[in-house]
């Protein structure tokens, strides 16, 4: 939710952000007008309440003969106060409705849509093969570690089984990520995968991604598409202590996405599926520390990608592809040989105070005054990584070299068909 004080002082910046995102800049002026009406309504209601209080004292001091007339006037004033308070509530609701329509103002992100990202860096050497490369599904099926046919039989399209060494490879990857997170000061958590509507709304996922979310109508609960949601909701309605530095969490959970509207796109294999595991970093920090924290999360993602031995690039995601909560987002995209292109493996987002303002999460500054915290998130490992690991480490006979960092869990140096 956008800060109204920031909006009043930086209206042009917010208009420019809306334009860069491909959103409606006129919403800024609508919200400014609604905010003015809200403040006028609050003032009118406050004045009537003050008048009512003073009138009550006057009645208390009146003689018995004067009181009947004064009580009649008191009833009229009471009705005016009630009407003013109703008008105030209506004005406040109008402001909140508009606040929820304006995404987080961008901070340095390039303008444009999905294809307008800026490549910041290439890391690692793209492999060359002197044989015809296989995609991850063919490799996985030949190795007996991915079973899509039975996954579809049991769960429907885009479900799968990870079998044997495939399961151990994912577990090893997730454990490695959890260890790195703990060493970096993150508290590892296994959070709920079902959350209430207010928590899903608070993180911004109902603004534009509601078609992607599984909703359990009978229980009025949502399945999370990332543990970011549960980690953001962890301190809802709290004043947290940041006197010793940021609060850092790493959530390990299964995640669920409907993948609505993506029929015919990446349907082969486990690149775009309905259920997957993920370890997500989440940080609560002071707003002035958010940019440095963003770089810390990106640095940890770099470490993990180096450990699983895949070449990748880092991109600065364009404003129109950010999602409503992020002010800036960096994606790391791994090279996928069978597709001859880079595909997203991780992202890390700086959500500034946008989520915390919705969820009412604050801290006390050095003067003891409550302020809204900043929140950031970043993926440290997820099932999709297996796509890049298998394809980049394949050999001519269909075997796959296991990255050295994962061998303690897999128990093998090479997976053989």
Confirm or deny that 90 is annotated as ligand binding. Answer: no
Confirm or deny that 346 is annotated as ligand binding. Answer: yes
Confirm or deny that 226 is annotated as ligand binding. Answer: yes
Confirm or deny that 309 is annotated as ligand binding. Answer: no
Confirm or deny that 377 is annotated as ligand binding. Answer: yes
Catalytic residue among 39, 74, 344, 399: 344
| 253 noted as active-site residue | no
| 17 noted as active-site residue | no
Catalytic residue among 325, 338, 347, 349: 347
| 347 noted as active-site residue | yes
| 357 noted as active-site residue | no
Catalytic residue among 21, 313, 357, 384: 384
- In the structure encoding, which two tokens stand for residue 119, read together? 């490549």
| 384 noted as active-site residue | yes
Write a three-state SS string for 181-201. Answer: HHHCCCEEECCCCEECHHHHH
Confirm or deny that 375 is annotated as ligand binding. Answer: no
Confirm or deny that 362 is annotated as ligand binding. Answer: no
Confirm or deny that 345 is annotated as ligand binding. Answer: yes
Catalytic residue among 272, 343, 364, 407: 272
Confirm or deny that 259 is annotated as ligand binding. Answer: yes
Confirm or deny that 227 is annotated as ligand binding. Answer: yes
Contact 370, 363 (CB under 8 A): yes
Catalytic residue among 257, 313, 328, 357: 257
Confirm or deny that 274 is annotated as ligand binding. Answer: yes
List binding-site positions for ATP: 257-259, 273-276, 344-347
Q: Hey, which residues are catalytic here?
A: 257, 272, 344, 347, 384
List binding-site positions for L-serine: 226-228, 257, 280, 377, 379
List binding-site positions: 226-228, 257-259, 273-276, 280, 344-347, 377, 379
């Amino acid at each position: 939710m956008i800060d109204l004080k920031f909006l009043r002082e930086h209206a042009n910046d917010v208009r420019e952000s809306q334009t860069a995102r491909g959103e409606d800049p006129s919403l800024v002026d609508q919200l400014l007008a609604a905010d003015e009406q809200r403040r006028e309504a609050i003032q009118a209601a406050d004045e009537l309440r003050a008048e009512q209080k003073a009138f009550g004292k006057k009645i208390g001091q009146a003689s018995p003969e004067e009181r009947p007339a004064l009580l009649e006037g008191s009833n009229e004033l009471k009705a005016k106060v009630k009407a003013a308070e109703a008008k105030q509530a209506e004005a406040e609701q109008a402001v909140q409705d508009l606040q929820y329509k304006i995404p987080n103002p961008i901070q340095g992100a390039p303008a444009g849509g999905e294809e307008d990202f800026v490549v910041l860096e290439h890391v690692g050497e793209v492999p060359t093969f002197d044989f015809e490369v296989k995609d991850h599904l063919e490799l996985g099926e030949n190795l007996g570690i991915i079973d899509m046919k039975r996954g579809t039989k049991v769960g429907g399209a885009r479900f799968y089984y990870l079998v044997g060494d495939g399961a151990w490879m994912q577990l090893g990857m997730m454990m490695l990520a959890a260890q790195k997170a703990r060493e970096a000061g993150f508290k590892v958590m296994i959070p709920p995968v079902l959350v209430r509507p207010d928590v899903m709304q608070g993180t911004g996922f109902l603004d534009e991604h509601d078609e992607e979310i599984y909703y359990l109508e009978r229980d009025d609960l949502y399945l999370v598409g990332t543990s970011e949601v549960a980690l953001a909701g962890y301190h809802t309605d709290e004043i947290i202590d940041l006197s010793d530095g940021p609060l850092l969490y790493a959530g390990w959970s299964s995640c669920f996405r409907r993948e609505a509207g993506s029929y015919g796109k990446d349907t082969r294999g486990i690149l775009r599926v309905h259920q997957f595991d993920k370890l997500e970093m989440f940080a609560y920090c002071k707003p002035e520390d958010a940019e440095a924290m963003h770089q810390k999360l990106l640095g940890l993602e770099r470490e993990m990608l180096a450990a699983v031995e895949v070449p990748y690039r880092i991109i600065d995601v364009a404003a129109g592809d950010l999602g409503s909560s992020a002010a800036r987002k960096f994606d790391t995209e791994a090279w996928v040989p069978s597709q001859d292109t880079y595909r997203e493996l991780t992202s890390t987002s700086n959500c500034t105070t946008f989520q915390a303002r919705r969820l009412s999460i604050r801290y006390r500054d050095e003067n003891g005054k409550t302020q809204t915290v900043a929140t950031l998130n970043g993926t440290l490992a997820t099932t999709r990584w297996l796509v890049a690991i298998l394809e980049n480490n394949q050999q001519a006979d269909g075997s796959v070299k296991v990255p050295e960092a994962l061998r303690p869990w897999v128990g093998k140096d090479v997976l053989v068909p």
